[in-house]
Amino acid sequence: MGVPLKQAIKVGAYVLKQHLTGNRRYPLVLMLEPLFRCNLACAGCGKIDYPAPILNQRLSVADALEAVDECGAPVVAIAGGEPLLHREMPEIVEKILARDKFIYLCTNALLLEKKIDQYKPHPNFCWDIHLDGDREMHDQAVSQEGVYERAVAAIKLAKAKGFRVSINCTLFDGANPERVAAFLDTVNEIGVDGVMTSPGYAYERAPDQEHFLNRQRTKELFRAIFRHGKERKARGIRWKFNQSPLFLDFLAGNQTYKCTPWGNPTRNVFGWQRPCYLIGEGYAKTYKELMETTDWDKYGVGNYEKCADCMVHSGFEATAVVDSVKRPWKLAKLAVTGIRTEGAMAADIPLDHQRPAEFVFSRHVEHKMAEIQGTEEPAEPAE
């Protein structure tokens, strides 16, 4: 299992406490985006299409810690943009660890060799390196040659220095299950501690709109990948996923889950993003305001057109974790039988009554530009 035992126990106890106290909506993972600036321009990314004054904005150390304290989630995923471009990131990490949180610091690894000595190994800290498949798959996904080799070298360096390392693997339409399986073999051999995988979300502003998976194709792809996994298991090879087994079962079409958008609340330079990490349709000034004033029932598969094909971990991992705590027998059964890769799939949520998509990106950009006009900080030099 890719999830450390300490983390599994602490998160499980946290969920159980929330359940016993009758708290219906609570966070599991804080998605902290301290900046949108990145040193790559991936074709499937919807996080970097902003004017330079917005890309130059940063959450301060105080902003980041306030978000951690206000939210209270046991796990913090620091994403972006590219977090290693943030000069105060080592201080942010150190002070979040002092709060006994689990941190996954997401990075494309291009700056990791240069920055790694600013960090210290810690049982609650894990590098989460973006790696979307083998050399050809990844370099195509990030729209730049040579990135795969640098990422693999960074993984080996981090492991040699005693860090936990996971990879974040996003899959798109056209992914070949056999190649994905071979890639999972490779990262297993390298010594990666866990893999977090997910289908890509169709960001409305992503340059490449042709290669996002729909739900049926997602299920077929992951069933095919997991069939290869069963063959490996029979030979004594076990892939380590840093995810709930029930979420992986969901990806294979064996669970009917609604998303839990409040499970992974997002704090970025705009504020607290409504309703989730993937869709920005309004921002709250505080976490309390986010939770109390967001119309959660307007979103999710079957409720909103933008959510129709989403099966992304940031929306459904929390659902699976809560299900595993409330119904541990499902997890126990899955541990014995493994993920089913043949036969009928679980019923999907109908889309008959979903409301049409709203496109509000430009409005949020205009508001932010008006806010920072004349007060923006100078851009950091390229690294």
Per-residue pLDDT, averaged over 165-170, amounts to 95
Quickly list H helices, the chain: 5-20, 52-55, 61-71, 89-97, 112-115, 135-141, 147-160, 177-190, 215-234, 245-251, 287-293, 313-326, 328-337, 361-372
Q: Residue 304 pairs with which residues in a beta bridge?
A: 355
Cis (ω within 30 of 0) for the bond into 81?
yes
User: What is the rounded (10 degree) CA torsion for 334, 337, 341, 346?
Assistant: -50
**What are 32-48's pLDDT values in tens digits?**
999 999 887 777 666 66
Q: What is the pLDDT of residue 203?
A: 60
* Contact call for residues 258 and 306 (beta carbons, < 8 A): no
Q: What is the pLDDT of residue 52?
A: 85
DSSP type of residue 376: P
In single-letter form, the type of residue at position 344 comes to A
CA distances from 302 to 23, 29, 181 (A): 24, 24, 32
Q: Does residue 377 carry a pLDDT above 60?
A: no
Q: What is the pLDDT of residue 368?
A: 79
Question: Residues of the chain with pLDDT > 70: what percent?
Answer: 92
User: Per CATH, is 5-373 categorized as 3.30.200.20?
Assistant: no
Q: Which residue has the higher pLDDT, 173 or 216?
A: 216
For the chain, the average pLDDT equals 91
**What are 323-351's pLDDT values in tens digits?**
998 899 999 999 999 999 999 999 999 99
- At 379, the pLDDT band (50, 70, 90 cuts) reads very low
- At 214, the pLDDT band (50, 70, 90 cuts) reads confident
Q: What is the pLDDT of residue 337?
A: 93
